[in-house]
Amino acid sequence: MQVSMIVNGEQVSGEIEPRLLLVHFLRDHLGLTGTHWGCDTSNCGACVVWLDGEPVKSCTVLAATASGHEVRTVEGLEREDGELDPVQRGFTECHGLQCGFCTPGMLMTARWLLDRNPDPTDAEIREAISGQICRCTGYATIVRSIKWAAAYEAARREAATADASSNGSAS
């Protein structure tokens, strides 16, 4: 069957078997290997992508179901200017990854959380990532990484507001 969807802002299409999972369409047909396939049971969360702006485990979604919808993968986090997303930077700054296998799903969930709650508590972060398993870090550095990204974005917003205020009063 033919599928067509928007992936990371680009229209894509392909001929697939109706039973093909979205994770395999992304990895095998589109070459977007940042989305990891980990457990084959929907328990680990390494395969989290956004489907129409909501995080989903792509191993539980048929590619045919995603046809006509918008998908965002970890490759879509990078900013247009080539700069890393603050969540990606936070994971680097605070050592939020060790083996890196769960990282794409964690990054996608963290970005989704911060887009909805720019100042989450540790408990809110832990709840957001509760559907994902990290076998290496013990989660402390992941939570710290997401908090770093939230603080970084808050500082940028504050600086932009201050800059706009000073520009507005100067005229």
Name the token pair of 37.
């396939």
What is the distance between the alpha carbons of residues 131 and 73, in angstroms, rounded to a whole number? 17
- What stretch of H or E contains 92? helix 86-93
Give the bridge partners for 71, in sequence order: 7, 51
Burial class (CB in 10 A: 0-12, 13-18, 19+), 58: buried
CATH level 2 (architecture), domain 2-77: Roll (3.10)
Per DSSP, the residues of 99-155 read: S-SSHHHHHHHHHHHHHH-SS--HHHHHHHTTT---SSS-SHHHHHHHHHHHHHHHH
Coil, strand or helix: which one is 51? strand
Q: Which of 70-84, 104-118, 154-168 has the lowest mean pLDDT?
A: 154-168
The whole-number pLDDT of residue 170 equals 54
Per-residue CA distances from 14 to 68, 85, 117, 121, 139 (Å): 12, 29, 36, 42, 38
Burial class (CB in 10 A: 0-12, 13-18, 19+), 156: exposed
CATH (residue range 86-163): 1.10.150.120
pTM: predicted TM-score of the whole model, two decimal places: 0.91
The yes-or-no verdict on residue 171 having pLDDT over 80 is no
The whole-number pLDDT of residue 78 equals 86
Contact 5, 70 (CB under 8 A): yes
The yes-or-no verdict on residue 84 having pLDDT over 80 is yes
Per-residue CA distances from 13 to 16, 25, 60, 114 (Å): 9, 10, 20, 30
Ranges of each domain in the chain: 2-77, 86-163
List, for residues 121-155, the tens digit of each pLDDT value: 999 999 999 999 998 888 999 999 999 999 999 99
The whole-number pLDDT of residue 96 equals 93
What is the distance between the alpha carbons of residues 35 and 47, in angstroms, rounded to a whole number? 5
More confident call, 169 vs 103: 103
